[in-house]
């Protein structure tokens, strides 16, 4: 990825790009968003990371560091999904395999027919969050405990019969990766993706050494303006427990620059420079509408809210997070901490907008920035 000096060199209209930068700056100056890290790439070129706002909150906040690290929440999901597909590539599992074959606790409570495919497409019937989610976090529960509780509850519908966004499905995927690979999900992603792609500031859960030394790396993590229900909690997004947990559904810590390398790999059909980490067929399959071949899924979801394998595809007439101007081949994801990533293979472009202001369910500020970026593409 080459850093260039002018918007035109990166395939961007300079006036419209300046509008994007002004909008980001205005949102931070007005206090709507504490901080923004922005990176846009096109055809292998970028203007570099743009930063706005503050690193910390409070009466005397410090400016956002140029090397700031962000908790990207559910953008974690498609990266974990690609880890699962790497196991499929290697013949260790298939999309049609039942989860209970590898995790026997998932062969009961309506989960007997639960397949890997269902976990990757939000058609499992598992919940987004567990009924006792808050209690588990207050007890600083381990990832394995979240998976145990997910196994104990009944699904909301038979797998493959409907679409329901399910973070707990990705908790199970993380456990599957560990069961099949023999190493933790965090270690697997680091070995297979982050290290070969040169993503030096990316980790699923902060390791203990990030908290050590005179200048611990955790000081680079931008502080999130947590919602009211998290204020003062020992488990909120800014606390050591959550930063270290490495939740496969939302615990990735990274920088815009590192994520840009991942996006370039996806645009490169699984390859970045000399590093090929995924097969072309894997990337193509992951970013196609998987609901189209699932006859029991409601027609509205198949047509208007399609999912790939871990990736949200283009949802027409749906502004939230992604905005209004993205092309039909676009795929990506968003995160509850106020983040969005999208990739448009037709434009050979990607956009990464990482903020520290939760914006669900509408993602209005993210959508406004996304619209400006899409409009700036020449």
Residue 212, in any domain of the structure: yes
Query: Could you tell me what percent of the chain has a pLDDT over 70?
Result: 100
CATH number at residue 183: 3.40.710.10
pLDDT given at position 185: 98
- Is residue 59 very low, low, confident or very high in pLDDT (cuts 50, 70, 90)? confident
Residue 60, in any domain of the structure: no
Rounded CA gap, 309 and 85, in Å? 9
Tell me the DSSP string of 124-183: S---SS-TTHHHHHHTT--HHHHHHHHHHSPPSS-TTSS----HHHHHHHHHHHHHHHSS
Number of other CB atoms surrounding residue 377 within 10 Å = 20
- Do 133 and 204 lie in one domain? The reply is yes
- Per-residue tokens: 319: 């502004």
CATH number at residue 346: 3.30.450
Comparing CA positions, the residue from 83, 68, 157 lying closest to residue 120 is 83
Sign of the C-alpha dihedral computed for residues 199, 320, 360 and 61 taken in this order:
positive
**121, 307 Cβ separation under 8 angstroms:** yes
Rounded CA gap, 208 and 216, in Å? 10
The last residue of one of the domains, among 264, 294, 313, is 313
Give the CA distances from residue 224 to residues 29, 54, 55, 220, in Å, rounded to whole numbers and listed in that order. 16, 10, 9, 12
- Is residue 110 very low, low, confident or very high in pLDDT (cuts 50, 70, 90)? confident
Residue 14, in any domain of the structure: yes
Mean pLDDT of 152-162: 96
Rounded CA gap, 348 and 176, in Å? 33
Residue 64, in any domain of the structure: no
Q: H-helix or E-strand containing 137?
A: helix 133-138
Mean pLDDT of 134-163: 97
- Per-residue tokens: 139: 């007890």
Mean pLDDT of 291-306: 96
DSSP structural state of residue 39: E
pLDDT given at position 61: 87
Q: What is the pLDDT of residues 113-124, one digit of tens each?
A: 999 999 999 999
Token pair 């013949």 is found at 91
- Do 126 and 203 lie in one domain? The reply is yes
For the chain, the domain total comes to: 2
Strands (E), the chain: 2-3, 35-42, 45-46, 50-53, 70-71, 203-204, 252-254, 271-272, 275-276, 312-313, 331-335, 339-344, 349-355
**117, 93 Cβ separation under 8 angstroms:** no
The span from the first CA to the last CA of the chain, in angstroms, equals 19
**146, 132 Cβ separation under 8 angstroms:** no
- Do 74 and 123 lie in one domain? The reply is yes
Phi, then psi, of 3 in degrees rounded to 5: -90, 125
- Do 359 and 255 lie in one domain? The reply is no
- Do 273 and 375 lie in one domain? The reply is no
- Do 226 and 283 lie in one domain? The reply is yes
The last residue of one of the domains, among 285, 313, 341, is 313
Comparing CA positions, the residue from 18, 56, 49 lying closest to residue 222 is 56
Residue 19, in any domain of the structure: yes
Q: What is the pLDDT of residues 12-25, one digit of tens each?
A: 999 999 999 999 99
pLDDT given at position 109: 78
Residue 302, in any domain of the structure: yes
- Do 213 and 350 lie in one domain? The reply is no
- Do 235 and 342 lie in one domain? The reply is no
- Whether 108 has a pLDDT exceeding 90, the answer reads no
Phi, then psi, of 218 in degrees rounded to 5: -65, -20
- Do 203 and 77 lie in one domain? The reply is yes
Phi, then psi, of 339 in degrees rounded to 5: -135, 155
The last residue of one of the domains, among 284, 313, 342, is 313
pLDDT given at position 78: 98
- Do 88 and 216 lie in one domain? The reply is yes
Residue 61, in any domain of the structure: no
Residue 3, in any domain of the structure: yes
- Do 229 and 105 lie in one domain? The reply is yes
Mean pLDDT of 26-44: 97
- Per-residue tokens: 336: 């509850």
Please, what is the angle between helix 167-181 and helix 143-152, to 10°? 110
Q: What sections of 220-270 are H helices per DSSP?
A: 240-245, 256-267
Token pair 């993590």 is found at 221
Comparing CA positions, the residue from 78, 84, 122, 89 lying closest to residue 102 is 84
- Per-residue tokens: 134: 């808050």
Q: How many CA atoms lie within 13 A of 263 on its CB side?
A: 34
Which residues constitute the domain of residue 155? Answer: 69-313
- Do 48 and 82 lie in one domain? The reply is no
């Amino acid at each position: 990825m080459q850093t260039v000096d002018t918007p035109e060199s990166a395939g961007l209209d300079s006036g419209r790009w300046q509008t994007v930068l002004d909008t980001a700056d205005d949102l931070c100056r007005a206090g709507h968003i504490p901080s923004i890290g922005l990176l846009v790439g096109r055809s292998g070129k970028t203007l570099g990371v743009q930063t706005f706002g503050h690193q910390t909150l409070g009466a005397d906040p410090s400016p956002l560091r140029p090397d700031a690290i962000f908790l990207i929440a559910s953008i974690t999901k498609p990266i974990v999904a690609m880890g699962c597909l790497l196991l499929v590539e290697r013949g260790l599992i298939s999309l049609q395999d039942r989860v209970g074959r590898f995790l026997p606790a998932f062969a009961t409570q309506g989960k007997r027919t639960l397949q890997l495919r269902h976990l990757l497409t939000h058609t499992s019937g598992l919940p987004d969050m567990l009924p006792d989610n808050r209690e588990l976090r207050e007890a600083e529960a381990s990832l394995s405990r979240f998976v145990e509780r997910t196994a104990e509850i009944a699904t909301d519908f038979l797998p493959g019969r409907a679409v329901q966004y399910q973070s707990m499905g990705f908790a199970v995927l993380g456990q599957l990766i560990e069961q099949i690979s023999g190493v933790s999900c965090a270690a697997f992603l680091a070995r297979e993706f982050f290290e070969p792609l040169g993503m030096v500031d990316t980790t699923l859960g902060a390791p203990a050494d990030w908290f050590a030394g005179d200048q611990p790396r955790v000081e680079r993590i931008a502080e999130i303006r947590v919602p009211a229900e998290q204020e003062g909690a020992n488990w909120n997004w800014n606390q050591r427990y959550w930063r270290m947990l490495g939740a496969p559904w939302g615990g990735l810590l990274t920088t815009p620059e590192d994520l840009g390398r991942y996006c370039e790999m996806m645009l490169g059909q699984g390859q970045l420079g000399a590093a090929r980490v995924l097969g072309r067929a894997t990337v193509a399959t992951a970013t196609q509408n998987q609901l189209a071949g699932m006859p029991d899924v409601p027609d509205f979801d198949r047509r208007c809210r399609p999912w790939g394998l871990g990736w949200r595809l283009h949802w027409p007439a749906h502004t939230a997070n992604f905005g209004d101007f993205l092309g039909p081949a676009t795929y990506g994801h968003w995160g509850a901490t106020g983040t969005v990533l999208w990739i448009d293979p037709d434009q050979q472009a990607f956009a990464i907008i990482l903020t520290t202001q939760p914006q669900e369910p509408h993602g209005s500020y993210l959508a406004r920035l996304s619209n400006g970026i899409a409009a700036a593409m020449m």
